[in-house]
Amino acid sequence: MESCSAMAKINLNQPILSPSPLPRNTISNLLHPSPLFFSDRKPFPSFFLKLQKQSPLADNYIEATPSIKCHATLPGIYSEASTLADIDWDNLGFGLIPTDYMYMMKCARGEGFSKGELKRYGNIEISPAAGVLNYGQGLFEGLKAYRTRDGNIVLFRPNENALRMRAGAERMCMPAPTVDQFLETVKETVLANERWIPPAGKGSLYVRPLLMGSGSVLGIAPAPEYTFLIYVSPVGNYFKEGLSPINLVIENDFHRASPGGTGGVKTIGNYAAVLKAHTAAKAKGYSDVLYLDCVHKKYLEEVSSCNVFVVKGNTICTPAIKGTILPGITRKSIIDIARGLGFEVLEQLVSVDELLNADEVFCTGTAVVVSPVGSITYMDERTAFGDGKVGRVSQQLYTALTSLQMGLSEDQKGWIVKLK
């Protein structure tokens, strides 16, 4: 590596402190790390950023340096003059690859977020009595940054993620960043990690904003302090099958959400609840689990991390948003795109019988994008779709969406936000 700096040039409307690149002859000194400070008072153990080459077990490590201080609402613009990170871009999976920077800001209960810091990626200090650890008071979002063929870096509908986080925060009794704060901090974090954005067509930079009750609380109550944090990782396909059809199993005993609960917001507990069924399904060779409603146990809800669609002729059906289903941003986008292509799209109750008699089935989500379903197993009986091939409608919608996200087609809907 020529440099440990994430940026070769920084151009801000206001001054900002930046770490200097480390010369080659100083890399050996990193074998004797010094403490890393995440605040003015509390030292943290040093940590290393691990750079993947041909596998996750590459031998290159870089010591993290002290944080960069900035404001959450600064209109910062970073430009990357150095080469891309030295990893195998052709074999990206959906796993964590530590990058250079993360973003953090805090506020007290009853107040609003104001200041933030761009820091070197690494561990954070948190009280064992934190609300997020004891009572699960936390939310997260997921969105992607893409590098287009003409050299632009773009985000896909990030304002929708900001609005969804604010809605979830209200349900979970937490303050949330404003939409503008959310957008600006996402932009700063992405551009600070620009060298980790995959080349056009090789993947994307997955952006994970977190909102959590970080203050100490013993009794059941909202935490007194909150942390908003963003980290990123380059990713490839979520399912190892890529665009090839996946195989789902319908879960009868466990349920993802219930009426009146938190299934309709992106709270962290929703995902812990699916781990048991998800792990069991993976062990049996399935790609993922499709959950049913917990009342009648016959209507579709969600797959573990994505929404589901059923195609019959020119009609596409998907379960209606009714409090137990996450309002997916990819889901919302596919509905708009499908209607624009002349399909009839219905948001309603969808039964298992309708599912099993469909012409095509596919899933949507930020991570999975559009994923065709090759088979559904229900009550130990397997129903196949499409003879193992990607369905016509799934392919059409996948192409329309990804062409827009990657800058290959004109953005007539105003969904793309260009960062540079």
Distances (CA, A) of 84 to 53, 90, 95, 156, 193: 12, 13, 18, 22, 10
**Whole-number Å distance between alpha carbons of 7 and 169:** 33
> Active site includes 282?
no
- The amino acid at residue 213 is G
- Return the residue matching tokens 């970080």: 214
Residue 313 carries which DSSP code? T
Which of 347, 112, 178, 163 lies closest to 265, judged by CA? 163
Paired with 383 in beta bridges are 376
Helix (H) or strand (E) holding 385: none
- Cβ-contact 218, 73 below 8 angstroms: no
Q: Which two tokens stand for residue 109?
A: 């209960």
| Choice among 69, 266, 282, 284 that is catalytic | 266
Q: Which two tokens stand for residue 380?
A: 């130990």
Looking at 229-288, list the stretches that DSSP marks H as alpha helix, in order from N- to C-terminal side. Answer: 269-272, 275-283
- Cβ-contact 256, 229 below 8 angstroms: no
Q: Which two tokens stand for residue 414?
A: 């105003």
Catalytic residues: 266
